[in-house]
Amino acid sequence: MSVFLGYVFLGLSLAAPIGPVNAAQLDKGIKSGFFHAWLVGLGAMTADGIYMLAVFLGVVHFLEIPFMQTFLWSFGFFVLVYTGIESLLSAGKMASSARKSDESRSKSFLSGFLMSISNPLTILFWLGIYGSVLAKTAAENNKIDVIIYSFAIIVGLLVWDVTMASVASSFRRFLTGKILFLISILSGLSLIGFGLYFGIQAVRLLFQ
Return the axis-axis angle of helices 131-140 and 34-57, rounded to nearest 10°: 60
Q: Which of 20-34, 35-49, 134-148 has the lowest mean pLDDT?
A: 134-148
Handedness of CA 133, 135, 138, 144 (dihedral sign): positive
Mean pLDDT of all residues belonging to the chain = 77
pLDDT of residue 95: 47
pLDDT of residue 103: 63
* φ and ψ at residue 92, rounded to 5 degrees: -65, -20
Q: pLDDT tens digits for 159-180?
A: 888 888 888 777 766 666 677 6
Longest dimension (CA), the chain: 58
Band (pLDDT 50/70/90 cuts) for residue 98 is: very low
pLDDT of residue 109: 92
- Domains of the chain: which residue ranges? 2-207
In the predicted structure, residue 100 carries a pLDDT above the cut 60:
no
Distance CA 94, CA 136 (A): 49
pLDDT of residue 97: 46
Residue 185 CA: distances (Å) to CA of 24, 70, 75, 97, 101: 12, 29, 23, 15, 17
Share of the chain above pLDDT 90, in %: 5
